[in-house]
Chain A
Amino acid sequence: MTSDALPDAVSDALQPSDSLWARWRTTPWRDVLRGRLSGSLDYRRAMVGHDLPQPLLQTVDEVVRRTQLWPREKCDVAAELCAHFADGLQAGHTAEELQKSFGSTRESATLIRRAKLRCRPWLWHIRHRTWQAMAVLALALAAIWSVLLIRFVTAKPTITFDLVADYDKESRAIPEEDRAWPLYREGLVRLSQEELRGYKFPVLGALKTGPSDPHWPEARQYLIEHEDAVEWFLRATSKPELGFINRDPENAGWLAAREYGGWETYNGPDTHGYFIVLAQAQDMRFVLQFLYGACHAAAEDGDGPRLVTLFTALLRIPDHARQAFDGFMADLVAFSFLRGTSDLITSEVLEHPELFTDANLQQLAQQLHRVLGGRPFEFRWTGERRLVEDYIQHAFSDDGNGNGRFTPAGFQELKEVTVGYVVSDKFPVLAWIPNIPESGMADSLQQTLFNLSGAAVLPMVADRRTVRAKWLELDQLRQQAFSNIHGQAAVDSYEDAIQEIMDSPSLRRRFLPVAVMLGGVWYHEEIRLLGRQLSATNLRHDAAIVAIALEQYRRRTGEWPDDLALLTPDLLAEVPRDLYAVDDAPLTYRVVDGRPLLYSVGPNRQDDGGTTAGDGKSFWEAEDGDWVLLPPREPAR
């Protein structure tokens, strides 16, 4: 390698650099490919040979260095300025004069750089402008993001009420001697988790099915072994109110036996949102099955009075289940209990009429009329609306005027509520925004990721007032859809409203809590089936009342009536309407093969001659065929 040098008198600072790196940077590719680090694009080499005094060389060096141009451009500028000064010296000017007339080196460098950049190829300009635009965009995004981040991390919910504590307050107001739950609980703790879910599980099915079940002998033995539990259940059903208290240390034993955790965490202060645990209602299903088993045993033993006592108890359980919660969820359970009990009464009255006295039948009919407060049975929605308000207060900040913005806490609750539900395909944000970490330095990265990602996405969620209004609007539509079994338009309105949100990514983000809770967690596609459970409850409750009236008529006349109208008004206040009949006609009745046949035309609203769809579906799932009420179906296994 060669190195040209400026005159010895010139400062070392103005000498071309001999460092390998400097040579590498100022060597054209052509030379590099030839294996030469010539450093020919070092502008200080361009200053060689002009024999300028040091002040002028310093001026040139300062200007060229400040331009920050490409090496080749620097070389051009340096050569031109040196030639200029050399011409000036040759014309008789002194170095000082030339330096003075040159002007400001800083300004000159700026102007030269600006002008030289304009000379660069258009491809460079495109790239340069693109980078500039991206930088401006990044800065703008960073600024916006920062504002959003501050808004996000400072948004805190304002809690004004404790929903579960409010429910408990209502329960505590019930006199202790009127509360059924402590007695149910006493019976339930006598049933171990292993027995209910373990090897004796077939026994539970046999308790419901009765003697026709192959496991019935084991079930009878099980009833004998747990006779005390049955007695606790019977005592419980004599109480007027359920009186369940969520945060009650007395529940510790029951919760431990059920592996539900500690009593403090059962709907505890830290668990909230559009969500409440109703294990007490769920466990009453075991109560029901035990009493079903006891009924079958009493019937098998020919013990009519015991059977009537048990039926009386069973008809109290739907009311207790309904008192577990003042909303739709508890109603579903209660209606399910009533359907099962109605079917059992229907079956026993028609198949073992000898077990009932006339007074027993009269008494059962009256109890059937009184159950769940009498007809019409309807879903309640108060509890669901209270849950909405509870979620809103835990998810949004409150500006004091009923408005506020979505908070990190609200998002975290959405994530927790949806655990176990398949919602991630519609709500990717639930998957890719991490959880809020519990605590600790190790979680600081996760917290940062949560804040950064959450700040970008969650401000897209509408404000508190808007989300609440949309939620209540949909809730109202849902209520209408459930309350009218023929209201296809109402069902469609609700489904369309939900689907509109679910089909639109922007609406899903805007109404994220509503979309997740109503469109993701609630399977609105099943609304028809859930609604039909109400129809089924009404019809099977009607069937039990008609069955008693038919037996009473048979006892008087020795035969089944040809028409249900013959039962009115003495034995039946009025002939039940068929909820699915087009013209509000009564249920279809006739005697076939010496047995009463009673049916509804079902959801297809056509008389199929009293035949079921026969595809093994649940009562309310069958689209075709009739819903045959009498003779009663074999209890489901």
Chain B
Amino acid sequence: MKIERELMRGAGPVAVLKLLEAGPKYGYELVKALSSESDGLLTMGQSTLYPLLYNLESQGIVRGKEQTADNGRTRKYYSLTAKGKRRLAKDAKQWQAVTLAMQNLGVLPPALQPSLEGGAS
């Protein structure tokens, strides 16, 4: 199943923030995680991911830092800032509200639980 572009535009940032909540990640890692943890639904090409990361960086929501990995490769690791954590909490609540509304409308079955639980922990 392929997600519509507009829907992906709204879901992509919050999905990336949620993945970063667990700790810093580099670009390829995020691509892999998005693909695997959403059963391929939120698979994001690099041409979309990196602009998204730069945008989040420009808003001060994530911070990028170059680090040299064990294999000697220099990568840029992205992590959530305090502002990013607040943003994630806010976006997650909104997604929960949207999901609930969709359930009430019968668009989603009542038993379906959102896989992305919001809020900074």
Contact = CB atoms under 8 A, between A and B. Distances in A.
Contact of A112 (B31, B32, B50): B50
Q: At the interface, is chain A mostly helix, strand, loop or mixed?
A: helix
Nearest to A73: B54
Contacts of B52: 115
A102 B28 contact: no
A84 B73 CA distance: 10
Interface in B42-61: 45-48, 50-55, 57-59
Given A101-B45, A102-B45, A102-B46, A111 B51 contact: yes
Interface in A102-128: 102-105, 107-108, 111-112, 114-116, 118-119
Interface stretch (A86-94, A215-223, A389-397, A529-537): A86-94
Given A112-B51, A112-B54, A119-B54, A83 B73 contact: yes
Contacts of A102: 45-47
A91 B35 CA distance: 14
A429 B66 CA distance: 63
Interface string A111-147: 1101110110000000000000000000000000000
Size band of the A side of the interface? 20 to 34
A112 B53 CA distance: 9
Given A102-B46, A103-B48, A104-B47, A116 B54 contact: yes
Contacts of B76: 76, 79-80, 83
B24 interface: no
A114 B46 contact: no
A83 B51 contact: no
A64 to B, nearest CB: 11
Interface residues of B, number: 25
B75 interface: yes
Interface in A69-86: 76-77, 79-81, 83-84, 86
A115 B28 contact: no
B58 A115 contact: yes
Contacts of B121: none
A63 B47 CA distance: 9
Contacts of A108: 46-48, 50-51
B119 interface: no
Given A79-B74, A83-B74, A116-B54, A103 B28 contact: no
B26 interface: yes
A57 to B, nearest CB: 15
A91 B47 contact: no
Contacts of B75: 80, 83, 87
A104 B51 CA distance: 13
Contact of A91 (B32, B48, B57, B58): B32
Interface string B1-36: 000000000000000000000000011110110000
Contact of B46 (A86, A91, A101, A115): A101
Contact of B26 (A83, A111, A112): A83
B35 to A, nearest CB: 10
A103 B51 contact: no
B26 A81 contact: no
Interface string A428-461: 0000000000000000000000000000000000
B73 A86 contact: yes
Given A84-B27, A115-B54, A103 B73 contact: no
A99 to B, nearest CB: 10
B47 A105 contact: yes
Contacts of B51: 108, 111-112, 114-115
B72 to A, nearest CB: 9
Interface of B: 26-29, 31-32, 45-48, 50-55, 57-59, 66, 71, 73-76
Interface of A: 63, 76-77, 79-81, 83-84, 86-88, 90-91, 101-105, 107-108, 111-112, 114-116, 118-119
29 contacts: A63-B47, A76-B76, A80-B27, A80-B75, A80-B76, A83-B75, A84-B27, A84-B46, A87-B26, A87-B73, A91-B28, A102-B46, A102-B47, A103-B45, A103-B46, A103-B48, A108-B47, A108-B48, A108-B51, A111-B51, A114-B51, A115-B50, A115-B51, A115-B52, A115-B53, A115-B58, A116-B54, A118-B54, A118-B55
